[in-house]
Structure 1
Amino acid sequence: MKKVILFDLDGTLIDSTEAILESFHHSLQTHGFGHGVSDAMITSQIGHTLETMFEGVGVETEAIDAHVATYKLYYREISRQKTLLLPGAREAVHEASLFARLGIVTTKTGLYSRELMEHFELMHYFEVLIGREHVENPKPHPEPILKALEEMGNPNLSVWMIGDTRLDIEASNRAGIECVAITSGYDNMEQLLTLTDIIKPNALEAVKYIAQRG
């Protein structure tokens, strides 16, 4: 094994948009705050922490923790039924495992992320999964990536991140690792191009690109 590949989840390996939107609206409605919050307002923030997302739609600071707690309870109930693997994701993970050690670095709750990947029968490919509860500073801070590498024994290997948002690119840059951005998720080409020119359509093509690198 000459490489390490760290995968983001939402928009990279999985499409949980329906589950996120339903859980978000459920939480807003439960707490009497939901009028005027559109799906677009929510999806534009996917990749950020839940706290940041609720703040971003106007929830007052003192109410954010309650909204997040309600979201998490509901999301856990529906996530497996309303989350899909993105096209080529299973193949991407399998192909990557043939030449690299693998990890997951996500801003989602790690516990629920692990349950999802076990549901899809992919978790055994990954040595480590770093979620929101495992770090103080989420992406774009480099801490989640550095935490993953620490748990993998700080391997002296070529390290790559595959992710769909500028948060993934910035975290990779700050952690001193390479990143392949992909357009299968929530940031578009124009947004990604502000930080990198290494952009592929999906995780499988990103893995193929990494495999060809020395």
Structure 2
Amino acid sequence: MRVILFDLDGTLIDSTEAILEGFEVSFRSFNKTPPPPEEVKKLIGLPLDVMFSKLGVEKEKVWDYVDTYKQHYRKISKQKTVLLPNAKEAVIEASKFARLGIVTTKTGEYSKELLEHFGIMKYFEVLIGREHVNNPKPHPEPILKAVHLMNAIKNATWMIGDTCLDMVSAKEAGVNYIGVKWEYEDLHNMKKCAEIIKENVLEAVEYIIKNY
């Protein structure tokens, strides 16, 4: 049976507001000026520690910022996160012909809470979050772990994501991949990483149904 692995941010959910607020609170708690929202958005999809490092936080303080971010993010994530249009429909359609999993650089514990909040966690067999791997995307480890746990066949497995991190991870893991358009990744860059790019996750699922 086919397997479809989904990224979260920019693929199934929009938690931009919560993420930006989390970064602002974290920087201000250390009496630092928060970076411009556009600079944060460019980095969404990377692990939090990498994001903070790229935003100028000293190496020895990165995890303090991450902890502060997580404490605030968990409080606000449910009310400041929404399912993307057609996301629930995409998951339900995909579940009719494939086994499903989540592969994200978000904290898995919080990701599960969000998906349960939206009523769709029941459709997923596995959820691989940041704390479940040593090497997050774009390393292939998260996808390989999902493939292993699901006893999946690689050439019957698809990764759907909105950034080159997802596409590179899938390619290195030896599974199929399809991109979706979202503001976190410049479309020009995305075209360098994925041959197939759809407008949204439902179109991506429908493509897999019709063609594979």
TM-score, structure 1 length as denominator? 0.96
Say if 2:147 and 2:154, in contact at 8 Å, map to a contact too.
no
Residue 182 to residue 141, structure 1, CA distance change in 2 (3 Å): same
CA RMSD of the aligned region, Å?
A: 1.1
Partner of 2:50: 52
Q: Within 1, Cα distance between the matches of 2:189 and 2:179?
A: 11
Say if 2:160 and 2:179, in contact at 8 Å, map to a contact too.
yes
Deviations 1:156-197 (A, max 9, x none): 660000000000000000000111100034113211011222
Q: Within 2, Cα distance between the matches of 1:185 and 1:172?
A: 20
Partner of 1:7: 6
| Segments ≥4 residues shifted beyond 6 Å | none
Single out whichever of 184-193 and 73-82 deviates more from structure 2: 184-193
What is the count of residue pairs matched by the alignment? 212
Partner of 1:87: 85
Say if 1:76 and 1:112, in contact at 8 Å, map to a contact too.
yes
Matches within 5 A, 1:132-147: 132-147=130-145
Residue 154 to residue 3, structure 1, CA distance change in 2 (3 Å): closer
Say if 1:165 and 1:185, in contact at 8 Å, map to a contact too.
no
Offset, 1:155 = 4.2
Partner of 1:194: 192
Matched to 1:84, the amino acid is V
Partner of 1:180: 178
Partner of 2:126: 128
Structure 1: gaps spanning 5 or more residues: none
Q: Is the counterpart of residue 32 in structure 1 residue 31 in structure 2?
A: yes
Residue 46 to residue 156, structure 1, CA distance change in 2 (3 Å): closer
Structure 2: gaps spanning 5 or more residues: none
Offset, 1:50 = 0.3
Partner of 2:104: 106
Q: Secondary structure at 2:66's aligned position in 1?
A: helix
Matched to 1:186, the amino acid is Y
Matched to 1:12, the amino acid is T
Q: Secondary structure at 2:193's aligned position in 1?
A: coil
Q: Secondary structure at 1:193's aligned position in 2?
A: helix
Say if 2:45 and 2:165, in contact at 8 Å, map to a contact too.
yes
Residue 5 to residue 32, structure 1, CA distance change in 2 (3 Å): same
Matched to 1:171, the amino acid is S
Q: Secondary structure at 1:127's aligned position in 2?
A: strand
Matches within 5 A, 1:200-211: 200-211=198-209
TM-score, structure 2 length as denominator? 0.97
Residue 117 to residue 185, structure 1, CA distance change in 2 (3 Å): farther
Say if 1:181 and 1:199, in contact at 8 Å, map to a contact too.
yes
Offset, 1:92 = 0.3
Identity score, percent:
55
